[in-house]
Chain A
Amino acid sequence: AQSVSQHNHHVILSEAASLELGCNYSYGGTVNLFWYVQYPGQHLQLLLKYFSGDPLVKGIKGFEAEFIKSKFSFNLRKPSVQWSDTAEYFCAVTPSGGYQKVTFGTGTKLQVIP
């Protein structure tokens, strides 16, 4: 079975600072990787996803993530955060091949200070 770990539970940044949230997964086969965001009081939204191809994936709102297969990692990055990025971020993994169980990380709460 797959597993996901997010090492940062709570991150506090000032506006314009750069962001990198770590995500490592464990699974023996090929995977699909996701980052979801949950803004305060809102539901989970897909930020970006990786299925195959270019390991550097660009998502909405200036976020990107890089899949490094050798490190089993899929870190989320943003060069300059804004106050509106304050949210909880979840990394998720599923074995490739459709209709597979998605496993979520425990989430990272990002707080951006104006």
Chain B
Amino acid sequence: GAVVSQHPSRVICKSGTSVKIECRSLDFQATTMFWYRQFPKQSLMLMATSNEGSKATYEQGVEKDKFLINHASLTLSTLTVTSAHPEDSSFYICSASSGSGETQYFGPGTRLLVL
């Protein structure tokens, strides 16, 4: 149980375009979903926390207008990287939690390359 999927697994886009990444909890309802960014050889950095039906809470230094997060249902959250630039190239990982929310289950990640 507690499976989280992400789509796409990797995406290449041109600078200036927008990219949407989906995160789904497959076998449980995720009241809270988290979006992380992982740079090479570094740890996961939390970007934002989203609760179903409400606005996401962004971490300091994360541009909310650039990284749009929507958590429209208990099984789906989306991260849209708007007007992507090469420096946005990274590995984006989502996680989801339910119930007490104290354990997070991670998706496989999405590798974004902006040319």
Residues of A within 8 A of B (CB): 32, 34, 36, 42-46, 49, 51, 90, 94, 96-107
A106 partner, pick from B43, B46, B107, beta carbons under 8 A: B43
- Offer 18 A-B interface pairs, CB within 8 angstroms, sorted by A: A32-B102, A43-B93, A43-B109, A44-B93, A44-B106, A46-B105, A90-B44, A96-B102, A97-B102, A98-B100, A98-B102, A99-B49, A99-B51, A99-B102, A100-B102, A101-B49, A102-B46, A106-B43
The answer to whether A101 touches B108 (Cβ under 8 A) is no
Give min CB distance, B109 to chain A, whole Å: 6
* Interchain CA distance A6-B109 in the complex, whole Å: 23
The answer to whether B102 touches A101 (Cβ under 8 A) is no
Cβ contacts B92-106/A at 8 Å (1 or 0 each): 010101001111111
The answer to whether B106 touches A36 (Cβ under 8 A) is yes
* Interchain CA distance A29-B42 in the complex, whole Å: 26
Which B12-65 residues have C-beta < 8 A from chain A? 31-32, 34, 42-44, 46, 49, 51
Give every chain B residue within 8 A of A45 (Cβ-Cβ): 106
* Interchain CA distance A44-B32 in the complex, whole Å: 18
The answer to whether A90 touches B43 (Cβ under 8 A) is yes
Residues of B within 8 A of A (CB): 31-32, 34, 42-44, 46, 49, 51, 93, 95, 97, 100-109
The answer to whether A42 touches B44 (Cβ under 8 A) is no
The answer to whether A107 touches B43 (Cβ under 8 A) is yes
Evaluate whether A101 and B109 lie within 8 angstroms (CB atoms) in the complex, with A32-B102, A46-B103, A51-B102 already known.
no
Give every chain A residue within 8 A of B97 (Cβ-Cβ): 99
* Interchain CA distance A42-B51 in the complex, whole Å: 26
B101 partner, pick from A43, A49, A98, beta carbons under 8 A: A98
B104's nearest neighbour on chain A, judged by CB, is A102
The answer to whether B102 touches A94 (Cβ under 8 A) is yes
Complex A-B, nearest 4 residue pairs according to Cβ-Cβ distance, in ascending order: A43-B108, A44-B106, A99-B101, A98-B101
* Interchain CA distance A44-B100 in the complex, whole Å: 20
